[in-house]
Every structure is written in structure tokens, then in C-alpha cells.
A = this chain, B = another copy of it.
């Protein structure tokens, strides 16, 4: 263990950087788990981060880049010069390489690609053309393929000669193509051991293997691996040519990442990612961009109240209940939004089934509206000793709960149909409408019952 093991990891990194102790740094990074590495790196400045990555071997630096969260990795590469960045990017797995290059600015990525060996750069450029959440974006290109007319002997020789290159690959299966690169077969690596060496690969392979198209969505990929027990599967382009290998674990990871980004967008983090190591102005600005839209929507919703100032002036107690009606309806609506988003992502409901969701939610809306309305109405009645205030407040909450629950359930489906992001848009849209309706119900009911209230 290098020097003081009681010091915090980032303090140890800082002191090792000062003494330019590359061996010490490597053994410290080996000792730290991925979470501790990410934590420690987030606590040292950009200059120290760049110095760290250039002091250790590119292979070790690539391990660090792979271990830490992607946004942090991109930030690190962004602060390195293209030369050093290219040395590290060379050592990454093909999928991680394409991901980080895609997340850098076009200029930065180009500068790094120009420093990379031509075949690697070409492979990376090709992978970057796929959408991040498509099979092409999730697959790796580290796989071994033979042509169908090669002999088993040649295949074995190739494995021997390229031992070093293939040693990084996670090879359990070999793929077989025709002369145009079209996938025609697959074989477990162990079948090479049993096959007569003079036979052609095509005689040993399992023909017509199942493959995933390169434009398959995450949902398609999840369904594929639910249906088939495989650990991995070949990916083919529109012409059936083999382009990569999709691993079950990579698909699950992409689904988990997508969920995390969705949660952050749902909470108003535009872009779906924010770390506190990002610059203050960028964090503040991105949060503000969403808040500014919200405040405008809030002003629109509150303008309903402005139309009823006479009623409010006469029954000032209503002012106490308006924020409650707004907040409670938002809560009820968000529950329905969350269930719809969950059912959509699991395929249990489809975007065109708004009527079904409405029918399923109206029951919940009526029950919960009645219970919450009775509760809040009772409180209002007891507090002011006026049953009519209870009826107005409770009635408004009950009616608005029904609106919020049915709208909340339907909204994600409608937004998906309109190709808008339900995670980002559902919340603000829902609260604007339910606020307007809630204020309108409470204040118009009160206006109607004015003679009993004032």
C-alpha cells in the first residue's frame, strides 16, 4: 500500500502526482474499486486529472476511463490534448471508444481520430454512425469470424497466430460468413477441437444463426434476450452482413443507463446527466432552462386565480386551500404518469390505447378523489365551522383528482405518439393543466356558493 493509507484516496493521488510516482499511482488505482476511483478523480482538479492520465500507461488510463461513469470519462478526455487522448482511446473496447468519441464535440473527436491508427479510427467512425441506443450502438466489434470455405486447420492457425489480439476478446463463439461478409453460421469455439482439420468451416458450423439487426431498439434487444437464453448474439446490417456482437450484459447495462437518464429528465435535468464536478454555470444554466419553461406555465395557470379576486377577497380562507389542491393533484397525476411510463417501457400498454388507460384510471380517480375530497373538505368544514366551505374545497379536490389521474395516465401515451419525450414533458404539462383546473373548480364552486360562504 503506497504511503499513508489513512489519507483520503484523492489526497494520496495528489501527493503521488507531486512526486510523479507512476508506479505508486498504478498500484493505488489497482487497489481502489471503480466507485472509489470515480470519487477520487472527481475530487482533483482538471490539471491533476490530465497529469494522472498521462503519467500512467495508456492501458491503465483506458481501464480508468472504462471504470468511471461515461459523462466523467468524456470530461476527462475533453481536458486532455488530442495526442494523449488518442493513446488512451486506442486501448478502449470498441463500444466504449465509440461512446466517448460520440459525446465529445465533433472537432475534439476528429482531432483524436486523426491521431489513431487508421483501422481503429475507421472502425470507430463506423460505430459512431449508429444511434447510441440501437444494436449498432451497443454492440462490440471484437469478434472472430471465418469464411465458410476456410479449413478448420486454417481457422486453428489463425487463432494461434492472433492469440495476443484475441486474448482481449471474450470469445466463446466463432462466426462464419460468405465472401461478401454475410453471416451464414456460428460455432462454439470448442467445436474446433473435435472437428477433422481437413474439413471446411461450413461443415462444422451451425447454419442460419439467429441475428439481431443493427437498427434494433433497446426494447427489441431486451425482448430478444428474454426470448433466447444466449449470452451474446451476432449483429447484421440490412444486407445480412455481420457487423458486430451484442452481449446480453451490455444490453442490460444500456437499459439501466437509459432508466437513469429518464429519471433525471423526469426530475427536470435536461440532457439526463449532471455531476457536481461539472462547472457551476453549466449546471445552473441547464437546470434554469427547464425551470424557465415551468415558471411561464405556472404564471399561465395562476392567471385563473387572478380572474376570481373578488371571490378570493370575500372568502380569504380559499387562499389557504389553493396551494394544497395544486400540490395534491400534482401528486395524484404523477402516480398515474409513472405507471403509464412503466407499462409503456414493459410493452404492457401501447401508445394508441389511451381509451383503455382512461377506463383503468377513472376508477382510481373517483375512489381517491372521494377519499381525499372528504378528508380535505372535512378539515375545511371543522376549521371554519362552515359545511359549504368543506363542500367547495372537498368538491374541487375530488373533481380535480379525477382530472389529474386520468390525464396523468393518458399523457405519456399521447406524448409517445407525438414522438415527444414523456419523461421530460409529462410533468410540466400535467401540473399546468391540473393547476388551472383545480383553481377553476375551487373558485367557480365558491362563486356559485358565495351566499353560503361570505
Residues of chain A at the chain B interface (Cβ within 8 Å): 33-36, 38-39, 42, 66-67, 69, 72, 170, 172, 189-190, 193, 219, 222-223, 225-227, 229, 231, 247-249, 251-253, 255-256, 259-260, 262-264, 266-269, 273-277, 280-281, 283-284, 287-288, 290-292, 294-295, 298-299, 301-302, 305-306, 309, 312-313, 316-324, 326-328, 330-332, 334-335, 337-339, 341-343, 345-350, 356-357, 360-361, 363-364, 367-368, 371-372, 375-376, 379, 383, 431, 435, 439
Q: Give A164 Cβ to nearest chain B Cβ, in Å.
A: 16
List the B side residues contacting A276 at CB < 8 Å. Answer: 339, 343, 348-349, 356-357, 360-361
Q: A263's contact among B189, B259, B312, by CB below 8 Å, is which?
A: B259
B321:A302 contact, CB within 8 angstroms:
yes
A280:B348 contact, CB within 8 angstroms:
no
Give the number of times this chain occurs in the complex, counting copies: 2
Q: A298's contact among B170, B324, B431, by CB below 8 Å, is which?
A: B324
Cα of A327 to Cα of B260 in the assembled complex, Å: 24
List the B side residues contacting A266 at CB < 8 Å. Answer: 263, 338
Nearest to A367 among chain B residues (CB) is: B284
Known: A248-B249, A262-B263, A323-B302. A33 touches B223 (CB 8 A): yes
A-B contact list, 15 entries, CB within 8 Å: A33-B223, A34-B222, A231-B249, A253-B255, A263-B341, A268-B331, A269-B335, A276-B339, A287-B335, A287-B368, A288-B368, A295-B375, A312-B319, A323-B326, A327-B327
Cα of A295 to Cα of B327 in the assembled complex, Å: 9
Nearest to A439 among chain B residues (CB) is: B323
List the B side residues contacting A305 at CB < 8 Å. Answer: 319-320, 323
Cα of A380 to Cα of B309 in the assembled complex, Å: 15
A332:B259 contact, CB within 8 angstroms:
no
A38:B252 contact, CB within 8 angstroms:
no
Q: Give A395 Cβ to nearest chain B Cβ, in Å.
A: 15
Q: Give A324 Cβ to nearest chain B Cβ, in Å.
A: 5
Q: Give A175 Cβ to nearest chain B Cβ, in Å.
A: 17
List the B side residues contacting A322 at CB < 8 Å. Answer: 319, 322-323
B375:A338 contact, CB within 8 angstroms:
no
A263:B338 contact, CB within 8 angstroms:
yes
Residues of A contacting B: mostly: helix
Cα of A372 to Cα of B292 in the assembled complex, Å: 7
Q: Give A232 Cβ to nearest chain B Cβ, in Å.
A: 9
List the B side residues contacting A274 at CB < 8 Å. Answer: 339, 342
Q: A302's contact among B267, B280, B320, B371, by CB below 8 Å, is which?
A: B320
A299:B324 contact, CB within 8 angstroms:
yes
Q: A172's contact among B72, B172, B298, B337, by CB below 8 Å, is which?
A: B172
Known: A268-B338, A335-B267. A35 touches B323 (CB 8 A): no
List the B side residues contacting A34 at CB < 8 Å. Answer: 222-223, 226-227, 347
Q: Give A363 Cβ to nearest chain B Cβ, in Å.
A: 5
Q: A348's contact among B42, B269, B342, B347, by CB below 8 Å, is which?
A: B42
Q: A190's contact among B33, B189, B219, B317, by CB below 8 Å, is which?
A: B189
A326:B328 contact, CB within 8 angstroms:
no
A284:B364 contact, CB within 8 angstroms:
yes
A309:B298 contact, CB within 8 angstroms:
no
Q: A226's contact among B67, B219, B262, by CB below 8 Å, is which?
A: B67
Cα of A322 to Cα of B323 in the assembled complex, Å: 7
Nearest to A263 among chain B residues (CB) is: B263
B328:A327 contact, CB within 8 angstroms:
no
Nearest to A266 among chain B residues (CB) is: B263
Q: A368's contact among B36, B291, B302, by CB below 8 Å, is which?
A: B291
B335:A298 contact, CB within 8 angstroms:
no
Cα of A441 to Cα of B316 in the assembled complex, Å: 19
Cα of A439 to Cα of B319 in the assembled complex, Å: 11
A269:B338 contact, CB within 8 angstroms:
yes
B327:A298 contact, CB within 8 angstroms:
yes
Cα of A81 to Cα of B337 in the assembled complex, Å: 35
B223:A35 contact, CB within 8 angstroms:
yes
